[in-house]
Structure formats: structure tokens, C-alpha cells
Amino acid sequence: MKLNQAEQVCRWMALHGRRHPVEAATWNGVIMLALLGYAVLPMLVLTQDWLMLPVSLAAVVMPEGYAGARRRLHRRQRLRCDWLGALR
């Protein structure tokens, strides 16, 4: 996910978060884990903790995976996702 796309979703959440509190909290958690993954990645490489490296990389790609899962569920009409328009 590109930085401007994440920024657009965060902006949408800031504007509409009161009507969608669970979605806003979930998105904030996903972004927090991704940032934590980015922050921990250099430390893992420097300490050569190779077992935790896949966990950090998974956290880094979590926003893209979350958005993709929401997109698939929205297309199948299983879950309504209003913020998908912000990703374009």
C-alpha cells in the first residue's frame, strides 16, 4: 500500500470514525502494527534475530492485506466497506 493511500484512508477514518468506531479502531490497530514492524525491522537485522524477521515483515504488509480482504468481502457483498473509494 502506498503512503498516500494509507493517508487517504486515515483521513476518511478521521472524518467518518464516529459513525464507524469499530472500523476506525481496527484500522488504527493495523497501521500501528505496520509501523511497529517497520521500526523493529532494523533491530532484528542488527541483532540477527532471524526467527522474528517473518513476523516483522508480515506486520509491514498487513495494511495491504487488510485492504485486500475488505475489498474481496465488499465485492462478494458480505461486508460493506465505505472507505474503499479512498484507495483510488
Residue span of the structural domain in which 10 resides: 3-87
Nearest to 62 by CA among 1, 21, 9: 1
**Residue 32 in this model has a pLDDT that exceeds 80:** yes
The pLDDT tens digits of the residues spanning 38-61 come to 999 999 999 998 999 999 999 999
Nearest to 17 by CA among 82, 88, 87: 82
Task: Say what the pLDDT of residue 30 is.
Answer: 94
The pLDDT tens digits of the residues spanning 51-87 come to 999 999 999 999 999 999 999 999 999 988 888 887 7
Task: Say what the pLDDT of residue 85 is.
Answer: 82
Structural domain total, the chain: 1
